Amino acid sequence: MLKKCMGDPSLIIPTEDIGIKYSLSYEEIHVQILDRQVRKLRTKEVASVKVLRRNQFVGEATWKLRRI
């Protein structure tokens, strides 16, 4: 059964600030590299970086493979 939900108007973000396109997609802009690490496997090393994007908090940053 669905219940009525009262929305909080302070949590609404205008779409002009995010830059959403007509195809409902947006470009993620990398702002800062927070951490780097190299994981050693048996035969090779894999480098990765923790990237902070423009519309994220520090706790939401994700690891990406770094191209060498």
Give the pLDDT confidence score for residue 68 in this predicted structure: 55
| Distance of alpha carbon 48 from alpha carbon 62, whole angstroms | 10
What are 6-31's pLDDT values in tens digits? 677 777 766 666 666 677 676 778 88
* Residue 58 domain-assigned (yes or no): yes
Residue 67 falls within a domain, yes or no?
Answer: yes
pLDDT at 43: 92
In a domain, 53, yes or no: yes
Has residue 68 been placed in a domain? yes
- Tens of pLDDT, residues 27-68: 778 888 888 899 898 999 888 988 888 777 777 777 777 765
Q: What tokens does 60 get?
A: 């939401």
Number of domains in the chain: 1
Domain for residue 60, yes or no?
yes
pLDDT for position 33: 84
62 belongs to a structural domain:
yes
Q: Is residue 50 part of a domain?
A: yes
* Domain around 38: 28-68
Could you tell me the pTM of the whole model? 0.49
